[in-house]
Amino acid sequence: MNIDSSLIKIDPKTKKPIYKQIQDCIIDGIIAGKITRHQKLPSINQISEKLDLSRDTVVKAYYQLRDKGIIASTHGKGFYIFSTNTKQNLKIFLLFNEMNEYKKVLYNSLMSHFHRNVIVDTFFHNHNPKIFERLILDNIGNYNHFIIIPTFYRYEKKILKTLKQIPPDRLLILDRPMKKLDCAMVYQNFESDIFYGMEKAKEHLKKYKRITGVFTSKTLHPEEAIDGLKKFCEKYDFKFRLIDQINSRLLNENEVYITFQNEDLIKLLNFAKKKKLQPGKDLGVISYNDSQLKEVIRDGISVISTDFKSMGKTAAELILKQKRDQISNPFYFKARNSI
């Protein structure tokens, strides 16, 4: 259903700028219940011709309403009402997979770079695609922007279908790249990040006879991470194996272990302690993603990690500056006593 163009009226006697009058007519229509979400707006050319206005004036009115998240545009379909929230505060829907040490760093960085009139509501999908879909579809129209961390590797088509319900200029994807979306992203390039992280660790690895990747069934990181490990080992002639569990039998001297889940790291350290194998001396340990705990546990665990503080800062800047850049997040290797 299209909005009746007669709702937009211009008073030539008032000092209020014409573009602002157009905006106020639309906002007043929303408040009065005459304009509802999804309704299509008259085209820029229609308003310009009917009211004998400069096209640039109508463009300014529409674009400012779009920047506020009240209207959105779709290529080939024009402008429509995206949100009936007419408040001036920037309201953001933030969807995490879960809250852990890394997400806390990301969240705190994100919030520290937003100004006071930005409202952020945080939700969690807990790796459940049904919850993911429901939370997004129930909240479209209630927020100006959506910041989302999708972690589903088996349900990509379904997830993409849900994400495409959000206008691309309102969506920012964090952590995992989704190449089929034309929206803002701050992502990890898992394959190259692991490869270059291991390159930085190369001199430390030479004293070990084999590299073992611990990639259990509960590991939520994509296969690209393992591809990066394999490519590194092939290029620099390191022996490599992949295991899907941690136990005492699989733990050997003179090997370096790369763990992706914290619970696998804890299991590895406990088995090493029982076998009286000292990390950094008898075997090597590298964990994926850094935390304060890893700085101190067993005198320090070496890490390959994305920079979550940087991710939060970049995400906030993209939202505030209305940019749709797709940015690979910084990555680093930190050598500690475990290697």
Stretches in the chain below the pLDDT threshold 50: none
Assigned token pair, 99 = 């809250």
Label residue 155 exposed, middle or buried (CB < 10 Å: 0-12, 13-18, 19+): middle
The predicted structure's pLDDT at residue 153:
66
The predicted structure's pLDDT at residue 256:
97
Neighbours of 218 (CB within 10 A): 10
The predicted structure's pLDDT at residue 89:
67
48-106: pLDDT as tens digits? 999 999 999 999 999 999 888 889 888 777 899 988 877 656 789 999 998 888 899 99
- Contact between 187 and 177 under an 8 Å Cβ cutoff? The reply is yes
- Contact between 8 and 53 under an 8 Å Cβ cutoff? The reply is no
Return phi, psi of residue 220, to 5°. Answer: -100, 0
Radius of gyration of the chain (CA): 26
Of 37, 41, 85, give the one whose Cα is nearest residue 63: 41
The predicted structure's pLDDT at residue 87:
66
The predicted structure's pLDDT at residue 267:
94
DSSP string, 74-99: ETTTEEEE------SSEEEEEEES--
Task: For the full predicted model, state whether its pTM sits above 0.85.
Answer: no
- Cα(311)–Cα(330) distance, integer angstroms: 8
The maximal CA–CA distance of the chain, rounded, in angstroms, is 87
